[in-house]
Structure 1
Amino acid sequence: MYKVSDVSELIGVEKTEVFEKMITHRALLESHIHKEDGVTHFNERGLEVLKTLFGIEIDQYDKSVVKALAKKDFASNEVRQDRDRKILLDKISILINEMDNLDRELSLKDKMIEQYQQKIAEELENMGMLQNIIVKKLESVME
């Protein structure tokens, strides 16, 4: 688990930028955030998501291998393409997760709208009954 300050240091951004990402990508990050005693913690996947959101390479290569390849300068283009491909795949994964979350939110809102419509129908029926009672009382008073 990583605190916001740890995450900001690891990624190399300000804490406020991390908080901004937490707000703008709430649906995406909320399952990877845990608050304990008022302190926000990210799990490993949350850190990876943040790195992707900030456009930072999530490096699965051994750093010594990457350094050796960079020194030899013969595979740097392939490494860059591999890195770019990985970033794009992570972004796709993030977008899929975000779409799933939005689908769940839409389903919940659809249910809420349906319940609200039922409540309105009940209230309209009650108002109609009350209106009939008032009309009958008025008619009896007028006679």
Structure 2
Amino acid sequence: MQAGLRLIGRHDDALPLCEQVLTDYIRIFGEDHPDTHWARTNLAGTHRHLGRHDDALRLEEQVLAARIRLLSSDHPDTHRARANLAATYNDLGRHNDALPLVEQVLSARVRLLGDDHPHTVRARANLAATHRFLDPSGPEA
């Protein structure tokens, strides 16, 4: 239900359900279970959509650290977590923090998926946007 509410933009209604799902998954599966990390990711996304970027940041930092520890720095889920964290850094105006993460994501996606994969193209667009944030008067402005 929380996923459906998020899909139709009812993030205020989804938030308590996302929080309950995370609490339940921690209790049932433990902190390191993949479903627990997805629940944490979903909760962070809901916070982002509600403009609660500090709450999203805390959760996304936890997810990225866990993904690196449990899966590896080069796992696709780790790159997705890295991209989510970079987006939140950009939302918070922390573009210098976002830049190395966006660069890592693009490099990995080129290497793993190729230049023309849609995820690679999106990562390249995210890098361009981060550069625009850092230099709004640059040549692409």
- The alignment's TM-score, normalised by the length of structure 2, stands at 0.24
Larger RCO (alpha carbons 8 Å, 6+ apart): 1
- The alignment's TM-score, normalised by the length of structure 1, stands at 0.24
Q: Which protein is richer in strand relative to its size?
A: 1
- Larger radius of gyration between Structure 1 and Structure 2: 1
